[in-house]
């Protein structure tokens, strides 16, 4: 684990036009260069940007051999991914492959490790300031982190970084020095981190009340972590070429848990549209179950809330149709 000062000093500066202030904005500290907005992350530096930029295109958090494998695998999966994700799908096949992906990763990412959180119905299992995760859905190492977040009953702000990204990959490159995923920002401890294994260990140490990661969570990724990526033929990997170039003013909210097959389909779409969203993990035993019941009248996921339009949807087919219709280039013109 590397904290803010060792990992990201000095940090590249961003154009202020890339960020929009939010009325719930909070500043972490008055005299530091790193500032975290409630709905946007940005970093500042007084140093020359040319000294900080490390030109890297890595998209995994393992050795070069794995990066090379991903470089070969990703274009191949794109060929078999079914083309335009906004078009009518064979939903039986979609659910079947996503369900098999869930089976491949059982038991991880399905339930909260401890029943202690059940009584915290206000969602107080979350830290004061939201965690921020830069990742892409198809990445097996990002999946490892999302599974840990489900088991720890933590919500997180997700900033999807699909291949072809027009926003979020650049943020990671400038703040961390390279495009490597997953990338975690914890404003509560002023920590920025690469490496999924290190991130998982950090999350359990910081927010796990002394618990260790569940048996096999770290080790299994190299063996079965690839299965959802392969079974889903690379969905949730690349930016849709008709996605809107303008992010919505407010973050979409998604109630989900990592290993739910229907939620996976929605997260893939959010990634392909590069839409930032708040991920409320609702694994078995979650502290937020009552919040979900109050909002939707059901304990089923996925459940999507879009504060930009007031839309609330609980059927994955309706969610997919809504997202691709409302966040396309055609809708933004």
What does the pLDDT profile of the chain (333 residues) look like in tens digits?
Answer: 443 322 332 233 333 333 333 322 232 333 333 333 333 443 333 333 333 333 333 444 443 444 445 555 555 555 555 578 888 888 999 999 998 888 888 888 888 987 554 445 455 578 999 999 999 999 999 999 999 999 999 999 999 999 999 999 999 999 999 999 999 999 999 999 999 999 999 999 999 987 888 777 777 777 777 788 888 987 899 999 999 999 999 999 999 999 999 999 999 999 999 999 999 999 999 989 999 999 999 999 999 999 999 999 999 999 999 999 999 998 876
Token pair, residue 47, equals 């140093």
- Residues contacting residue 135 through CB under 8 Å, at least 6 positions apart: 142, 145, 146, 158, 159, 160, 161, 181, 182, 183
Looking at residue 227, its pLDDT comes to 83
**Strand 252-256 vs strand 277-281: parallel, antiparallel, or unpaired?**
parallel
Looking at residue 78, its pLDDT comes to 58
Looking at residue 49, its pLDDT comes to 33
Distance CA 188, CA 128 (A): 7
Distance CA 33, CA 35 (A): 6
Residues in the chain: 333
Q: 301, exposed or middle or buried, with CB in 10 Å at 0-12, 13-18, 19+?
A: buried
Tokens 């970093």 belong to: 43
Token pair, residue 249, equals 């003013």
Q: What is the 3-state secondary structure (H, E, C) of 63-84?
A: CHHHHHHHHHHHHHHHHCCCCC
Tokens 């991920």 belong to: 279
Domain spans, the chain: 64-332
Measured from the Cβ of residue 18, the count of other Cβ atoms closer than 10 Å reads 12
Looking at residue 42, its pLDDT comes to 39
Q: In degrees rounded to 5, what are phi and psi of residue 4?
A: -55, -45
Looking at residue 237, its pLDDT comes to 92
Looking at residue 47, its pLDDT comes to 36
């Amino acid at each position: 684990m590397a904290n803010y000062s060792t990992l990201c000093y000095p940090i590249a500066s961003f154009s202020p036009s890339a960020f929009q202030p939010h009325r719930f904005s909070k500043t972490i500290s008055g005299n530091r260069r790193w500032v975290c907005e409630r709905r946007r992350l940005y970093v500042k530096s007084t140093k020359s940007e040319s000294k900080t930029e490390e030109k890297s295109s890595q998209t995994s958090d393992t050795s070069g051999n794995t990066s090379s494998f991903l470089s070969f695998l990703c274009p191949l999966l794109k060929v078999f991914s079914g083309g335009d994700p906004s078009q009518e799908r064979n939903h039986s096949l979609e659910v079947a492959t996503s369900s098999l992906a869930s089976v491949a990763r059982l038991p991880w990412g399905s339930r909260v490790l401890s029943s202690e959180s059940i009584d915290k119905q206000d969602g107080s299992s979350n830290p004061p300031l939201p965690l921020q995760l830069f990742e892409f859905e198809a990445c097996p190492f990002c999946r490892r982190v999302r599974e840990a977040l489900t088991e720890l009953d933590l919500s997180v702000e997700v900033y999807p970084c699909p291949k072809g990204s027009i926003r979020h990959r650049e943020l990671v490159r400038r703040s961390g020095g390279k495009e490597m995923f997953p990338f975690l920002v914890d404003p509560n401890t002023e920590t920025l981190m690469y490496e999924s294994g290190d991130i998982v260990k950090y999350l359990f140490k910081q927010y796990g009340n002394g618990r260790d990661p569940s048996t096999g969570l770290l080790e299994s990724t190299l063996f079965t972590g690839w299965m959802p990526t392969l079974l889903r033929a690379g969905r949730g990997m690349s930016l849709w070429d008709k996605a809107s170039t303008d992010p919505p003013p407010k973050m979409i909210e998604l109630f989900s848990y990592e290993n739910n097959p229907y939620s996976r389909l929605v997260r893939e779409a959010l990634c392909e549209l590069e839409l930032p969203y708040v991920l409320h993990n609702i694994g078995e035993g979650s502290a937020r179950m009552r919040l979900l019941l109050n909002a939707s009248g059901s304990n089923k996921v996925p459940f999507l809330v879009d504060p930009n339009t007031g839309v609330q949807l609980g059927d994955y087919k309706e969610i997919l149709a809504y997202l691709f219709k409302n966040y396309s280039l055609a809708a933004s013109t």
